[in-house]
Structure 1
Amino acid sequence: MTNTNKQWLGLPLNLLWGYIAIAVFMTGDGFELAFLSHYITGLGFTPAEASFAFTLYGLAAALSAWISGVVAEIITPQKTMFIGFVMWAVFHVLFLVFGLGHANYALILLFYGIRGFAYPLFLYSFIVIIIHNVKSDSSSSALGWYWAVYSIGIGVAGSYIPSFTIPLMGELGTLWTALAFCVAGGLIAMVSLRNVNTPTRMHNLTTREKFSELSRAVTLLYTNKNILCSSIVRIINTLSLFGFAVIMPMMFVDKLGFTTSEWLQVWAVFFFTTIFSNIFWGIVSEKMGWMKVVRWFGCIGMALSSLAFYYIPLWAGHNFAMALIPAISLGIFVAAFVPMAAVFPALEPHHTGAAISVYNLSAGLSNFLAPAIAVVLLPWFDTLGVVIAYTALYLIAFVICHFIDVEQPGFERKARYADDGALKVS
């Protein structure tokens, strides 16, 4: 299942080009984030119609993320990545030509929604490859690198490159450029990963058995309490990340006097920080312990950072340097949840695909629930109420972590009784 290929700071060198493929592909996938909603409204559609297109996209992506782990184990991760890559390219072209090109709202929804289903098949199948090609006691650092290259692609390059291409070729031209990046990333993956180890246990299953395994991505939530608790913690993990992207521009720009560019620069610093913190916590958690890092640095760190993101700018006013402090803090501690990607398959070693699918579903639900909480609370309790809600949920996650019983390689607890009958743990 695993091998002992060389690593550099936790990066499995045999999968290096796979990581590069993820970064390149997600760069193209991230091009549209900063301007597509504005472009759609510019075609004559309402903000509500533009928002619904993104909602449909998010729902399709969450569904795809949910099944991607199991599908990757059933038909191999490489085939799943290939399907996702081709679907993305085909429906991106259809989206640009017939959806945006003809300002056809029905086709925008159809093609953009299907494209939303495509990218998680490519993105999350690589997690299955990591789990099956890296020693279990090194999986956390390998997954830290995975989220680092994800941040480089969608959060840094995906936002930075369009700032140059839009003035040169416009928004539609930039969307066509995104296709080139995604095709390049897909081709790199297909070539570099064709000979890596892949799970074979499910290849000979009957169709009925394969559907049974697919349903396990649902049943694990109520048959394994550790998976359920881990799912809740993973959902809470990125609430501030997705929620602050919605509520903080209103506070920074409308109340504190920051320009939109200044706010975007603050948020870019947050994403840039996660590149290094993902790698850092992935390595540290293997030495300190997965759940200890998640509980004390992830949960507590994010609770304090969330409060700081509100109170420090409120106290300092329009002060760009002071605003960077909570942004950097948030970027450091949100990555302390990286070990959760290793916890899920460790809790279900015989059904790793299903476990990874639950992890992916939890990530998608976090993306959905974070703005939903803000929508419900903002009219009644303003920005502070949303921040306190997120903070409280991180503290709840701190408590839930205590009940997650996972055996981390190299951290088996050995209990023995001393002569006086007192229990000692060594």
Structure 2
Amino acid sequence: MVENFINKIFISPKLMLGYAGVMVFMMGEGLEQGWLSPYLIKNGLTIQDAALLFSIYGLMAAIASWFSGVLAEVFGARPVMLVGLSLFLVGSALFLSIGLPTNNLSMMLPTYALRGLGYPLFAYGFLVWVAYEAPTERLGSAVGMFWFVYSGGLSVLGVLYSSIALPFLGEIATLWSALVFVALGAVIALYLNRGGKKTDQEEKKASFSYLFKGITIAFEYPKVGLGGIVRTINTSAAYGFVVFMPTVMMNIGYSRTDWLHMYATLWFVNIVFNLLFGIISDKVGWRNIVMWFGCVGCAITTVLFYYVPQYFPQSHIPALIASGAYGACLAAFVPLSAIMPSLAPDNKGAAMSILNLGAGLSTFVGPAIVGIFIASLGATGVIWIYTGMYLFAAVLMIFITVPATLQRSPSFGQSSVMPTSGRNTEMLRG
């Protein structure tokens, strides 16, 4: 009975351990998300300096994300995750012992950047393993579970832990405590490949030449490239918010704790809808969920997230509702993780590298937009740039159609996978 429950919810016992480990690992990664920017600004950096720091971090994450898929396919998930763990631990130690105490941007940038190389290799390496392990007909649910644990650790548990730990430990000690969660998560997750062997497909592609697939796949399969752009837009605003929204909220009367509660609400709702949209998309179609609930929904709720707290400064409930609505729509991009490998079934790892590149680039693009436009356009202008990006993503989704073998009916435009399809089912080229 227990085994049946595990297989029903987590696909397999190995994936269950991986999911649990990723959640704990990302809890350590996400400790500083809601408060590091205002802390740095309070200690002498400008908002542009903070945006630059987060942008460089995001650029390094984008590079690691790009190659995480093909590296995991060539060498296996476990070695890639181990490398990610090592980079994160070393980068964190250098940032906290050398970079942050100096409050010198030239010292903070390289050490924080090294830290940014770590988590994509760990988390997205595991995501590629999910793409191969999960049956195709349950791929939407499987990736929904991944984003559930990813966001749950990164932006809910980590943020809530910070809100509790900061008054007692202070900023620096709270950041050091992140290493405990990262190490614990790695111990749990790295059991997923214990004693495992590479698949035939991995053995066939185990060469450095295959690494270039992480670049050329976007040109061989143009829809994969478009999907990477949509994924970049997906969380750009969310990563940009942490740079300037805490300051905006505090300027209109909210405390740091109030902001952390808003941010935690956003991601708590997000992880619930990660599961829901993953399951629903397997039934009614992947593309329409992304297009309407993700792209259009985020365009609307981005505006609400910014304006509602300003119109109700004395009541936190409307602000929490607006942040939760944005988090729910953000989750509707989850089916992209099922769409991308379906567009290149013979090169799933390379296709996932483009998806992961988009995820990494979003951590660069979001803060970069703040750094470039906050001085000239202000916070309001930045919000409307993010809104326009979401609407542009909706237009791109019109052209990202999945193979005909995955379509249920014309009424949905695109649908769940046929139950008879297997793990490595041949699909039409996207």
> 1:362 maps to what in 2?
358
Q: Give 3-state SS (helix, strand or coil) of 1:404's partner.
A: coil
Alignment deviations for residues 235-294 of structure 1 (CA, whole Å, 9 cap, x no partner): 22223322333343344332x433333222222211111110101100000001000111
Matching residue's letter, 1:21: G
Q: Which residue of 1 aligns with 2:129?
A: 129
Q: Identify which of 214, 221, 236 aligns with 2:233.
A: 236
Equivalent residue letter for 1:331: G
CA contact (8 A) 2:61 2:363 kept: no
Cross-structure match for 1:401? 397
Alpha-carbon distance change, 374 to 413 in structure 1, aligned in 2, over 3 angstroms? same
Residue 170 of structure 2 is aligned to residue 173 of structure 1: no
* Residues 137-286 of structure 1: pairs in structure 2 closer than 5 A: 137-195=137-195, 198-203=198-203, 210-254=207-251, 256-286=252-282
Q: Is contact 1:18–1:193 with CA below 8 Å preserved after alignment?
A: no
Q: What is the deviation of 1:357?
A: 0.8
Confirm or deny: 8 A CA contact 1:133 1:197 kept in the other structure: no
Q: 1:83 to 1:240 in 2, by over 3 A?
A: closer
Deviations 1:127-155 (A, max 9, x none): 11101110112111111111111122111
Using the TM superposition, give the Cα deviation of residue 97 of structure 1 relative to its aligned residue in structure 2, in angstroms. Answer: 4.1
Decide whether the 8 Å contact of 1:290 with 1:408 is kept in 2: no
Partner of 1:338: 334
- 1:423 aligned partner: none
Match of residue 82 from structure 1: 82
Give the residue type in structure 1 aligned to 2:67. I
Counterpart contact for 1:270–1:328, Cα < 8 Å: yes
CA displacement at 1:118 relative to structure 2 = 1.7
Which piece of structure 1 moves more, 404-413 or 81-90? 404-413
Q: Against the structure 1 CA distance between its residues 291 and 376, is the aligned structure 2 distance closer, same or farther, given a 3 Å change threshold? A: same
Q: Aligned partners of 1:234 and 1:370: how far apart in 2?
A: 12
Q: Which amino acid aligns with 1:303?
A: A
Separation of aligned partners in 2, 1:307 and 1:38 = 22
Structure with higher Rg: it is 1
Contact 1:9 1:283 in 2 (8 A): no
**Cα distance in structure 1, aligned partners of 2:39 and 2:375:** 28
The 1:10–1:406 alpha-carbon spacing in structure 2 relative to 1, beyond 3 Å, is: farther
Give me the identity figure in percent: 36
In 1, are the aligned partners of 2:81 and 2:122 still within 8 Å (CA)? yes
SS at match of 2:203: coil
CA separation of 1:95/1:367 partners in 2, compared to 1, >3 Å: closer, same or farther?
closer
| Partner SS state of residue 313, structure 1 | helix
Structure 1 distance, partners of 2:297, 2:41, is: 38
Residue 423 of structure 2 is matched in structure 1 by none
What is the rounded CA distance, in whole Å, between the counterparts of 2:19 and 2:370 in structure 1? 34
Residue-pair matches, total: 408
3-state SS of paired residue (1:258): coil
Q: Distance in 2 between matches of 1:128 and 1:234?
A: 16
Which amino acid in the other structure matches residue 187 of structure 2?
Answer: L
Match of 1:118 in 2: 118
- Secondary structure of 2:253's partner? coil
Query: What is the deviation of 1:202?
Result: 4.0
- CA shift digits 1:91-115 (9 cap, x unpaired): 4334444555787876644443222
Separation of aligned partners in 1, 2:104 and 2:360: 28
- Partners of 1:166 and 1:385 lie apart in 2 by 32
CA contact (8 A) 1:11 1:145 kept: no
State the Cα distance separating 1:413 from its structure 2 match. Answer: 5.2
Query: C-alpha separation between the residues in 1 aligned to 2:192 and 2:243?
Result: 38
User: Given that residues 73 and 200 in structure 1 are in contact (C-alpha distance below 8 angstroms), is that contact kept between their aligned partners in structure 2?
Assistant: no
Give the drift of 1:173: 2.8
After the TM superposition, which residues 319-398 of structure 1 pair with which residues of structure 2 at under 5 Å, given as runs?
319-398=315-394
Contact 1:30/1:158, CA 8 A, preserved across alignment? yes
d(CA) in 2 for partners of 1:186 and 1:149? Answer: 14
Q: Kindly indicate whether the alpha-carbon contact (under 8 Å) linking 1:155 and 1:271 is maintained by their aligned counterparts in 2.
A: yes
Structure 2 residue identity aligned to 1:352: K
**Greater shift in the superposed pair: 141-150 or 7-16:** 7-16
Question: Which TM-score applies when normalising by structure 1?
Answer: 0.85
Q: TM-score, normalised by structure 2?
A: 0.84
Alpha-carbon contact 1:62-1:364 (below 8 Å) kept: yes
Tell me if structure 2 keeps the 8 A contact 1:5–1:13: no
The one-letter code of the counterpart of 1:267 is Y
C-alpha separation between the residues in 2 aligned to 1:102 and 1:349?
49
- Select between 48-57 and 388-397 the one with higher mean Cα deviation: 48-57
Q: Structure 1 stretches of 5 or more lacking a match?
A: 416-426
Q: Say if 1:331 and 1:169 are closer, same or farther in 2 by CA, change over 3 A.
A: closer
Amino acid at match of 1:56: I
CA–CA separation in structure 1 for the residues paired with 2:246 and 2:98 = 33
Instruction: Give the Cα separation in 1 of the matches to 2:105 and 2:391.
Output: 42
Are the counterparts in 2 of residues 12 and 142 from structure 1 also a CA contact under 8 Å?
no
Q: Secondary structure at the match of 2:33?
A: helix
CA distance in 2, matches of 1:294, 1:257: 35
> For residues 12 and 285 of structure 1, do their structure 2 counterparts lie closer, same or farther at Cα, with a shift above 3 Å needed?
farther
- Structure 2: runs of 5 or more not aligned: 412-430
